[in-house]
Amino acid sequence: MRKIDLVSDFQKKTFVQIREAYFRERNESGELVFEVEFWSSYFTLILDLFYPDYRELPIESTIHKYHSSNQYDEDTWGDENNGEVEIDRLEEFYGHMKSIVLPESLGAQEVYNAIIEICESAIKNKNKLYFIADY
């Protein structure tokens, strides 16, 4: 299994417990083949800054589900208490993510690049992509 861990180095440098999130690529038999572990706040930051008008997206889109559940639902989309959720419109999600141009000063480029990489891998290998977070 391939893994990009963007949490461990940060955790070694601080005593603060951060909230983690994961994108997980699984093959058709459900085996985990690729995982990206990162600080969940970065994903929220990227989406909040670049998709504040998420309501303009289809309600079935990943970004719409993520934003609306964070704002209105008691059950937050992708919450670890509910288990992994599938990014069921993967190519659409990838297209939205690719359209984002992050300023370097944001400090989220490494997380963004890892998300793009796992999306590309899942699409190329015809696998499924899942999300889960510790909110």
DSSP 8-state symbol, 61: S
- Look at 13 and 63; give whichever has higher pLDDT: 63
Helix, strand, coil abundance in the chain, percent, nearest 5: 45, 20, 35
Average pLDDT in the 7-11 region?
73
pLDDT at 130: 95
Measure CA of the first residue to CA of the last residue in the chain; give whole Å: 25
Query: Is 24 a residue whose pLDDT tops 70?
Result: yes
Whole-model pTM? 0.85
Domain ranges of the chain: 2-108+115-133
CA distances from 45 to 84, 95, 122, 125, 127 (A): 21, 18, 23, 28, 27
